[in-house]
Amino acid sequence: MIRKTLKKTSQHKKLKEFIKKYKIPPEYLATNRKMISRGVLLGLFIAFIPMPMQMAAVLLFMPFFRFNVPVALAMCWLSNPITMPPMYYMEYLTGSFILGIEPEPVEMTLEWFKDNLDKIFIPLYFGTALYSVFGSLTAYWAVNHFWKGSVHKERKRGKKKR
């Protein structure tokens, strides 16, 4: 269903006019399996990284990789002000556990982060690397798997109707 919705949206007259008016390369808005799954991969990879301007980071990858840019930007929004603290705390705890470091008790104040950044930096980014790599690869696989399943199911329905 999502696949069909994306296909319909990409064929909309107003979107085509927008692309033509602003001379946007159409591959950045392509709605095929490869472009969508690449957008999910890149967007989630960056969403797990604790850094400012995540959407700008996605846009920096545009000259090097081909992916659906709106999907990648939407995946970046996974880490929003509401989800960031639990995501980053989970990454910190995971990194601390795997590295065998006793986690510091965390306070949600800027002063605490400024004072303890040197203690939490390595475990936080180690956990970030794990979640970024495995989370984005899992999502990439899932999008490909379900997209292919959707296509096969649609073909079976078409054959039964004939």
Choose among 113, 146, 148, 141: nearest CA to 44. 141
Q: What is the pLDDT of residues 33-69, one digit of tens each?
A: 999 999 999 999 999 999 889 999 999 998 899 999 9
pLDDT value of residue 139: 96
Q: Where are the domains of the chain?
A: 2-161
pTM to 2 decimals? 0.83
Cα separation, 49 vs 95, whole angstroms: 13
Does the structure show a pLDDT above 60 at 1? no
Cα separation, 157 vs 118, whole angstroms: 58
Asked if 43 and 75 touch (Cβ cutoff 8 Å), the reply is yes
pLDDT value of residue 150: 87
pLDDT value of residue 11: 67
pLDDT value of residue 99: 94
Asked if 20 and 50 touch (Cβ cutoff 8 Å), the reply is no
Tell me the pLDDT of the chain averaged across its residues.
87
Asked if 78 and 44 touch (Cβ cutoff 8 Å), the reply is yes
Burial (Cβ within 10 Å: 0-12, 13-18, ≥19) of residue 144: middle
Asked if 89 and 60 touch (Cβ cutoff 8 Å), the reply is no
- Vertex 120, ends 92 and 44: CA angle to 5°? 40
pLDDT value of residue 81: 86
